[in-house]
Amino acid sequence: SQQGEEDPQALSIQEGENATMNCSYKTSINNLQWYRQNSGRGLVHLILIRSNEREKHSGRLRVTLDTSKKSSSLLITASRAADTASYFCATDARMDSSYKLIFGSGTRLLVRP
């Protein structure tokens, strides 16, 4: 079952605009990660935010985390056509003697040139 649910499911914007994607999760977490997946390719890790952090930046990416609302958002500023991809949030779940990542359903982002 999915731990995270992304919103919106799909987003279409013009190049240069900002894109905001949201992720909600169900159980308490130690950290949350965001990944990007280009069509037909593997997932690429973008950023990790820990439960004691509220905001984190990496280049044009800004991630926020609100543990009280069990939600996170990913903001891509000044979007480019190359940002067209699916974006997933993922949370750790303790399993057996290790951890697994539980991925959300993803947001499909289309950036129009």
Residues found near another protein in the complex (CB under 8 A): 2, 30-31, 33, 35, 40-45, 48, 50, 88, 92, 94-106
Cβ closest to another protein, residue 40 vs residue 59: 40
Minimum CB distance to another protein, residue 1 (Å): 9
Cβ closest to another protein, residue 33 vs residue 84: 33
The answer to whether the beta carbons of residues 34 and 88 sit under 8 Å apart is: yes
Cα(29)–Cα(7) distance, integer angstroms: 19
* CA distances, 46 to each of 37, 49, 96 (Å): 10, 10, 27
Cβ closest to another protein, residue 33 vs residue 79: 33
Minimum CB distance to another protein, residue 72 (Å): 14
Cα(103)–Cα(35) distance, integer angstroms: 9
